[in-house]
């Protein structure tokens, strides 16, 4: 597809993300809801499945011939997936633990992948109704209810005190503590889900470093948005942008999202 063709999809994908967000809120507003456990020990709720159904239904109606790979759907074999030139990559409820804690820090993530690259990304925040979106080769935007959509961009870092986005679990990891020691001073912003990368894209944080496993649906939409905002999301080992559907496993390597691409962020990585 040519870049201008992504724009013809964007409004519909944003609408689908909002529909999934409403399906999540319908469960969130209840006093009690069902929580199960997946084989890997992670939680899954009624809201995850409701959002999954809404997104898959909407995307199948929009592009019937394109595969949809969702966290809550079946994972086809790599022999099948490696034939895909274009597909939707979805985390219908990113931040299930935050959903269960009722802290509002969860999102709907929808990305379009073409030949391993995230070319369209939409991240919707159900509780606030805020929506981040971008397409490859264009600007990134945030749409706040009641306001006009605004272009967002990363910020330059002055080399002094740094703002680091992190999850509540990451901040207690020894490798993360060693990472923080590499800076003269820092401020931590603790967030759930893909909001950490969105903060970098907005210029509200300088960097988000993730040490440990995540899945490809956790990063794809955020990567498109961060890159369109002028930043990067890279594999820590190679410092190259993450690519998708290139191997049997759908797990990501450890990665960094950062705003100011003029810095050698590799120099701040803790040595083993």
Listing DSSP states for 54-106 in one string gives HHHHHHHHH-TTS-EEETTS----HHHHTT-SEEEEEEEEE-HHHHHHT-S--
CA distance 72 to 20: 13
Q: For the chain, list residues with pLDDT below 50.
A: none
CA distance 207 to 258: 4
pLDDT digits (tens, 9 = 90+) for 177-233: 999 999 989 999 999 999 999 999 999 999 999 998 899 999 999 999 999 999 999
CA distance 239 to 94: 25
Model pLDDT, residue 255: 96
Model pLDDT, residue 38: 87
Angle at which helix 195-202 crosses helix 216-228, to 10 degrees, equals 10
Alpha carbon 197 to chain centroid, angstroms: 7
Spatial strand order of the sheet with 207-210 comes to 186-190, 162-166, 207-210, 255-258, 232-235
Model pLDDT, residue 34: 82
Q: At residue 241, what are phi and psi to the nearest 5 degrees? A: -55, 145
Domain parsing of the chain, residue ranges:
3-152, 162-268
Nearest-10 Cα torsion for 41, 180, 153, 62: -10
**157, 267 Cβ separation under 8 angstroms:** no
* Tokens 């979805």 sit on residue: 90
Chain length of the chain:
272
Model pLDDT, residue 212: 85
Topology (CATH) of 3-152: Fructose-1,6-Bisphosphatase; Chain A, domain 1 (3.30.540)
Model pLDDT, residue 272: 56
Model pLDDT, residue 35: 87
Name the class of domain 162-268: alpha beta
């Amino acid at each position: 597809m040519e870049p201008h063709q992504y724009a013809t999809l964007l409004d519909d994908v944003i609408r689908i993300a909002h529909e999934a967000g409403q399906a999540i809120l319908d469960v969130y507003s209840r006093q009690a809801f069902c929580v199960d456990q997946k084989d890997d020990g992670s939680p899954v709720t009624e809201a995850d499945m409701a959002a999954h159904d809404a997104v898959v239904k909407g995307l199948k109606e929009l592009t019937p011939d394109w595969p949809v790979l969702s966290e809550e759907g079946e994972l086809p074999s790599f022999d099948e997936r490696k034939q895909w030139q274009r597909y939707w990559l979805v985390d219908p409820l990113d931040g299930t633990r935050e959903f269960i804690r009722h802290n509002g820090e969860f999102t709907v993530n929808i990305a379009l992948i073409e030949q391993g690259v995230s070319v369209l990304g939409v991240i919707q925040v159900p509780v606030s109704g805020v929506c981040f979106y971008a397409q490859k080769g264009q600007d990134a935007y945030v749409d706040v209810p009641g306001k006009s959509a605004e272009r967002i961009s990363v910020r330059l870092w002055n080399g002094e005190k740094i703002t680091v986005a992190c999850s509540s679990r990451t901040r207690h990891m020894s490798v993360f503590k060693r990472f923080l020691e590499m800076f003269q001073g820092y401020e931590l912003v603790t967030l759930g889900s893909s909001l950490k990368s969105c903060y970098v894209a907005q210029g509200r944080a300088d960097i988000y470093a993730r040490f440990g496993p995540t899945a490809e649906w956790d990063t794809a939409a955020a990567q498109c948005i961060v890159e369109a905002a002028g930043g990067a999301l890279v594999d820590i080992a190679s410092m190259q942008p993450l690519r998708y559907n290139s191997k049997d496993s759908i797990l990501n390597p450890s990665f960094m999202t950062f705003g100011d691409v003029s810095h050698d962020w590799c120099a701040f990585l803790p040595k083993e």
